[in-house]
Amino acid sequence: MKLVENKSFQYRIISLGGFSTKQDELELRNRAYSLWREVWYAVFKKVNQAEALNPDEFFRQDIAACILDRNHELVGMHLYTFFDLSARSDREHSYFAGIEDSALQKLANAGCIRLMSMEYLTVNPQWRKSLSGTAWADILVSLGQRVMQASGYDAVVGTPRTDIGVDKIGDRLGFRTYQEQITKYDYFCSLMACSKEEVKSHPDGVTREFVDQLWKDRIDTTQVTHVQTHAHSLQAVQPKSQGVQMKSATMMEIYREATAPLLQKLVESPWEDKEFYANWLSQTYYFVSNSTRLISLAGSLFPDNKLHHRFVDHAKEERNHELLLTNDLKHLGMELQSEFASTSGFYQSQVFWMFFRSPASFFGYVLCLEGIAVDYGQKAFERVQAAHGKKASNFLKVHSEEDVGHLDKAFELLEGLSPEQRQQIEQNLRQCAAMYSGILDECMKRERTILRSAA
């Protein structure tokens, strides 16, 4: 299968049912609606059903999953709604009109009670397979399966058209047919579903790799795809402690919500620009140079030996990491830049948190730095390596690999902390995310200043 360069695309998941004040999300929602209306009006018009296209069908959905190109134009999208068949109100929803009771019973017998519907699979006419050579419909469905798995629901369900072979996508990806024929708006469809255990990877290797990359770099402002995923990793660490998993999942949800704007800024940052990257390396040098001091200080203040020893070990792991940064600067052909006031405030404020709140509050700083390393470190490394070379990207390489284990350990340690300590961690986490975002803003501002001066 022909596939365009995967680094040119982005997978975003946004809410349709909730209220949002974020301008970029509202703008994307409007563009998604316009594309939906354009494509589906044409589809309905072919069978003289254009007047049946109701805007409520778009806005009743819970979330929209969109693929954007490098110019932020919509390539395609998929709409999802969450149902629970144990609720009569859900069973009698208009989505299930025309579906036989026996088919719903088969789903229930298969353990598929909590369902995520896949609806209105939409590909921009300019990006259809006949023009782009890429099976965007397959990619959207495969990504949708991952949304279902991460959300914790039992299965994904859909009513694909059989007259044009959309049901064949389901066959490739592990779906089973639960009702052979349903008529929707004078089109022949079938009822298909795929449980989380039945999901199959796409048979085409290139497409599978592309789906993996889009999923890894996804931006989910709904938080639907984050909480359950980390709960699974915690289960591997603490298989006997159900209560701990629930607490940590809640903290993970807080982490995702608090760092979502920062993650978006990392995605949009010009890592390929030499001046920006030099500024970022320099500012990172200043707070990394103090990592062992801060970690050791926090460890010394814990009366609990488990936390004390964990922090002592962590401090050892961070030794000399600032040398990676100076080495990257050397191979970039740049000198260490002066320290921003925002950078000083970022790490120096941790002393306040430890002495005037509690040493546990330092976890907020840890979660911020190691969380974004896990969420975007690998992607940043790939962008930097491609633009500036392998020798100038060692710090990002090391931390995108090592911090995965650090983050899991941090969430595991949260289990024994009091509600008051957890609240302090959340407050510090939010402050750190905002301050780090400010550092990125200043890196970009200085980069633009240099460009204007050069011009």
Q: Hey, where are the domains in the chain?
A: 6-220, 227-454
pLDDT digits (tens, 9 = 90+) for 178-189: 999 998 888 899
Q: What is the pLDDT of residue 34?
A: 95
The whole-number pLDDT of residue 4 equals 53
pLDDT at 18: 59
State the CB neighbour count (10 A cutoff) for residue 386: 13
Bigger pLDDT: 403 vs 119? 119
Tokens of residue 348, six digits: 């120096």
CATH architecture classification, 227-454: Up-down Bundle (1.20)
DSSP calls for 187-228: EEEEEEEEETTT----SSHHHHHHHHHHHHT-EETT-TTTHH
CA distance 255 to 184: 42
User: For residue 310, is pLDDT > 70?
Assistant: yes
Q: Which residue type occupies 247? A: K
DSSP annotation of 274? H
CB 235 within 8 A of CB 214: no
At 67, list the tokens: 């693929």
Does residue 229 carry a pLDDT above 70?
A: no
Q: Measured between alpha carbons, how far is 14 from 25 in angstroms, rounded to an integer?
A: 7
- Considering the entire predicted model, what is its pTM? 0.53
Q: How many CB atoms lie within 10 A of CB 129?
A: 14
Cβ(294)–Cβ(257) below 8 Å: no
Residue 246 has pLDDT above 50, yes or no: no
Query: Is the pLDDT score of 435 beyond 90?
Result: yes
pLDDT digits (tens, 9 = 90+) for 196-219: 889 998 998 889 889 988 998 898
pLDDT 10s digits, 149-168:
888 889 999 999 999 999 99
Number of other residues whose CB lies within 10 A of the CB of residue 455? 5
Full strand arrangement of the beta sheet holding 63-68: 176-184, 187-195, 155-158, 114-123, 74-84, 63-68, 10-15, 219-220
pLDDT over 60 (residue 426): yes
Distance CA(302)–CA(16), nearest Å, equals: 45
Please report the pLDDT score of residue 224 as a whole number.
83
Largest CA distance in the chain: 74
- What's the full length of the chain, in residues? 455
pLDDT at residue number 407: 64
* E strands present in 167-316: 176-184, 187-195, 219-220
Cα 113 → chain centroid: 26
Q: Report the C-alpha gap between 102 and 114 in whole angstroms.
A: 17
Read off φ and ψ for residue 124, nearest 5 degrees: -55, 130
User: What is residue 230's predicted lDDT score, i.e. its pLDDT?
Assistant: 34
At residue 122, φ and ψ (nearest 5 deg) are -130, 125
Could you tell me which of 263, 276, 226 has the C-alpha nearest to residue 436?
263
Segment 443-453 mean pLDDT: 61
Do 144 and 218 meet the contact criterion of CB atoms below 8 Å apart? no
38-61: per-residue pLDDT in tens? Answer: 999 999 999 888 888 889 999 899
Nearest Cα neighbor of 407 from 376, 439, 442, 445 is 376
Instruction: For residue 402, name the pLDDT band (cuts at 50, 70, 90).
Output: low
Reduce the DSSP state of residue 104 to 3 states and report it.
Answer: helix
Position with higher pLDDT, 20 vs 312: 312
Confidence (pLDDT) at 7: 54
Nearest-angstrom CA–CA distance, 278 and 116 = 45
d(Cα 165, Cα 135) in Å, to the nearest integer?
13
Over residues 418-431, mean pLDDT: 91
Q: What's residue 408's pLDDT?
A: 62
CATH superfamily of 6-220: Gcn5-related N-acetyltransferase (GNAT) (3.40.630.30)
Q: Which two tokens stand for residue 369?
A: 């730095």
Look at 198 and 404; give whichever has higher pLDDT. 198
